[in-house]
């Protein structure tokens, strides 16, 4: 049975969105291989951003992780239940919660640091060192250049977005 050649612009395996989805699947699989199952990738993102921005409110933290606010709130509740962060009502805005990482949360992040580096190394392993730098620069450019089109754009600290 012969197949008709597919034009490149119609070939699923040449479509950036498809390849990015596949790369995400691979990244998540490697995440669990290297970091275990104590945190999900989204929980890790939230907790690591919180470690960099103690006392931040939930809405701003979700923006820094490019996660919608309802998902961010749910993730924060789960992390609080695990004893990894504390949420406190902000006195001047009782609808918001200020977040701090607990000592247990900080220890967990420290314990996962080596796994996170292995994850990065494994994900980029097929590329030569120069290709890794180029890939990361181009991927960053692609993501930053399309940030406004995201369902949940990344907020940047100090930009007024967070």
Tell me the CATH number at 88.
Answer: 1.10.10.10
CA dist., res. 131 & res. 138, Å (int):
10
Which structural domain range is residue 68 located in? 16-147
Neighbours of 75 (CB within 10 A): 24
Which pair of structure tokens corresponds to residue 136?
A: 């990361």
Q: Is there a domain that residue 1 lies in?
A: no
Number of H helices, E strands in the chain: 6, 2
Tens digits of residue pLDDT in 102-122: 999 999 999 999 999 999 999
24-28, 86-90, 107-111: which has the minimum mean pLDDT? 86-90
Q: Is there a domain that residue 162 lies in?
A: no
Question: What pLDDT is stored for residue 159 in this prediction?
Answer: 53
Can you say how many angstroms the Cα of residue 89 is from the centroid of all Cα atoms in its chain?
25
Q: Is there a domain that residue 2 lies in?
A: no
Mean pLDDT for all residues in the chain: 90
Number of domains the chain contains: 1
pTM, rounded to two decimals: 0.85
């Amino acid at each position: 049975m012969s197949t008709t050649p597919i034009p490149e612009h119609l070939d699923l395996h040449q479509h950036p969105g498809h390849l990015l989805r596949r790369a995400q699947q691979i990244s998540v699989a490697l995440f669990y291989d290297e970091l275990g199952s104590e945190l999900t990738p989204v929980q890790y993102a939230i907790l690591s951003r919180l470690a960099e921005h103690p006392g931040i409110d939930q809405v701003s933290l979700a923006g820094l992780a490019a996660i919608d606010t309802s998902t961010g709130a749910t993730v924060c509740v789960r992390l609080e239940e695990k004893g990894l962060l504390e949420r406190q009502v902000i006195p001047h805005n009782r609808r918001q919660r200020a977040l701090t990482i607990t000592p247990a949360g900080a220890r967990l992040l420290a314990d996962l640091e080596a796994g996170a580096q292995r994850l990065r190394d494994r994900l980029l392993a097929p590329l030569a060192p120069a290709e890794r730098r180029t890939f990361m620069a181009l991927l960053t450019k692609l993501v930053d250049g399309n940030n406004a089109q995201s369902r949940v754009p990344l907020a940047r600290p100090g930009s007024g977005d967070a």
